[in-house]
Structure 1
Amino acid sequence: MLTIETLTRAELGAGMAADGIVLQTGVFAVQLQSAIPSVVNGIHQLYGNYPLLPSHAFADFHLRLVQSGGLRRWLRPQVDLLYDGVTVFKPLPLAQAFPMFEWGLNWCVANRAHSYLIVHAAVLERDGRAVILPAPPGSGKSTLCAALAHRGWRLLSDELTLIRLADGLVQPLPRPVSLKNASIDIMRAYLGKAELSPPVAGTGKGTVAHLLAPPASVARGAECARPGWVVFPRYQAGASSTLEALTKGQAFMQVASNSFNYSVLGARGFDALAGVIGAADCYRYTYSMLDEAVAAFDQLAARS
């Protein structure tokens, strides 16, 4: 199967500017069209080992990123994201075009993939069992996820945990990890030769950059995992590594509040979430040092 890296930067740019490309990201195929250089560069840099499907292949989502027209094109360049030909978001500064693609694709999955219970959580796998990390912004979720994904855990997703309604398994959606503000330099230092997109400042989330997903995680993007743990992480400067058990009821309510479509799914959502919580050990975790955090999760996996 062809991958993005089989194309030169020029070939990829020409294809995206013309009819677009069909990119396989986990279980979803995305038809993407754009002539914006930063979008082409981001796809070339961070999606090189992802499958490139034939131009006539079925796509779950059709996205187009275009530079806004009118006077703004010259005075304050902006980018529009079109989903199925319709603008669904307010335009953003042109420099934010690649992050807009990532956010837009998250929106597509969260609002359209209702054959899954979708939780706002990172998720990784070890020995066939998934650890689900639900947390609000600023909790250090993505930083912890990035560290674990490069220290022996398989990345399933940084942002969206997909629970299959049919059997309760976690469906992988491995894509670049979104890092914000101080996390960018933290991960540069922690990983050494980290493959990061150029930081983009001034977004609604501050400065953002995206970290390359480990190629092994991308290659195993069709392999599901069964829920093993639900851990609510919280970064706290200077805090020691602390793992505190939660009751099933506490965990259920917190995960439900972090789900995008729990109420939309009704009884199916309740049953799916009950299955996850019933199968998982549930904890609250506080940390400040990544090495301690990785060791704590390795110990959690070893004793289960």
Structure 2
Amino acid sequence: MPLVDTVLQIAPFTVRLRSPFAAVQRHLDNFYVDVPRGSISRDFVDFDVQVLPARGLRRVWHPQARFLLDGEEPFFPLPAEQAAPLFEWGMNWCVAQRPLGELVMHAAVVAQGDAAVMMPGFPGAGKSTLCAALVHLAGWRLLSDELAILDPATGTLLPHPRPISLKNASIAVVQAFQGARLGPVYRDTRKGDITHAACPGASQRQANVPASVRWVVFPRFEAGAAPHCEALSRAEAFVLISEQSFNNERMGEVGFDALCALLTGAECFEMVYGSTTDALALVRQITGGKVVSAAP
């Protein structure tokens, strides 16, 4: 019998998770205790996920963890001690790769009320650290630190609040934020040292409240850089966001029109910064004072 067999209402999806790993159970206890549960017998699930031990000798010799979606294994196993982050990485893959009728982009999203800041960025740009700073130091609502999910029918972004993934130097930065609650650090993963910061309860309670993109910000952290912000045209932003879209081609004309509509009412910027304090000040400048800057 699996140690974990539960249905999680991780907005906007319903996920069944099964796993015998105690680390996966601890991960749920740390980060998903307030996430609504569904019924295994009654609820339709979007993703039927399992995190299982490797088969054969790998169960005892260099134990590994496998991620399965609907019984299929989409990528190679990882060391068993990484079973919990494997669940998070696997969930990102599920949302990014499955054609669910929404346009999915690689971006962090935070909001105040129904006005959202969308922060696309390539890996290493610093968007997750900035996302954590806005959430913990400035009171923004977390929609996602990793995946912007656009509903073409309404033109709004759907919240997908999950733990914020942090790696390497970002861990110590966010650990210093007042109110941040971090989990264990996993060493020597394919992304280096990684951990997770809990989604604030207030954001979780508003998991069914969508938001409209008011600002699109392309952040880039550069150690020692002087803070700099530059406006971008919507055409430039469209090209850059398209590069960060996981399913734009599959969505076709619907996705193209939805992204055009998203940008119609948005102001777009590129910003470079060398510290959290500088980043918060730049976002405050962009959003007209909605962010209260605070040093970590």
Pairwise TM-score range, normalised by the shorter structure: over 0.9
Query: Which residue among 98, 119, 127 is the counterpart of 1:133?
Result: 119
1:91 aligns to what?
A: 77
**Counterpart check, 1:46 vs 2:1:** no
Within 2, Cα distance between the matches of 1:82 and 1:174? 22
Within 1, Cα distance between the matches of 2:242 and 2:180? 34
Q: What is the CA distance between 1:192 and its match in structure 2? A: 4.2
1:108-150 Cα offsets, whole Å, 9 max, x none, are: 1111143111110001102311111000111111100111011
Q: What is the CA distance between 1:291 and its match in structure 2? A: 2.1
Within 2, Cα distance between the matches of 1:17 and 1:173? 25
Contact 1:114 1:265 in 2 (8 A): no
Kindly provide the amino acid, as one letter, of the partner of residue 92 in structure 2: N
Percent of residue pairs bearing the same amino acid type: 42
Within 2, Cα distance between the matches of 1:225 and 1:275? 14
**Counterpart check, 1:181 vs 2:168:** yes
Q: What is the CA distance between 1:193 and its match in structure 2? A: 5.1
**Counterpart check, 1:171 vs 2:141:** no
> Residues 197-276 of structure 1 correspond to what in structure 2 (within 5 A)?
197-276=183-262
Within 1, Cα distance between the matches of 2:100 and 2:227? 36
Question: Structure 1 regions of 5+ residues with no counterpart?
Answer: 1-13
Kindly provide the amino acid, as one letter, of the partner of residue 80 in structure 2: L
Kindly provide the amino acid, as one letter, of the partner of residue 108 in structure 2: A
Change (3 A) 1:251 1:187: same
1:82 aligns to what?
A: 68
Contact 1:26 1:218 in 2 (8 A): no
Q: What is the CA distance between 1:299 and its match in structure 2? A: 3.3
Within 1, Cα distance between the matches of 2:254 and 2:162? 27
TM-score by length of 1: 0.91
Q: What is the CA distance between 1:76 and its match in structure 2? A: 0.5
Matched position secondary structure for 2:60: helix
Higher fraction of helix: 1
> Residues 126-165 of structure 1 correspond to what in structure 2 (within 5 A)?
126-150=112-136, 151-165=138-152
Q: What is the CA distance between 1:101 and its match in structure 2? A: 0.3
Within 2, Cα distance between the matches of 1:87 and 1:170? 29
Contact 1:245 1:282 in 2 (8 A): yes
> Residues 269-284 of structure 1 correspond to what in structure 2 (within 5 A)?
269-284=255-270
1:156-194 Cα offsets, whole Å, 9 max, x none, are: 0011001101021111101000001110111112x1453
Query: Which residue among 67, 71, 75 is the counterpart of 2:57?
Result: 71
Matched position secondary structure for 1:259: coil
Within 1, Cα distance between the matches of 2:141 and 2:205? 11
Question: Structure 2 regions of 5+ residues with no counterpart?
Answer: 291-296
Contact 1:149 1:155 in 2 (8 A): yes
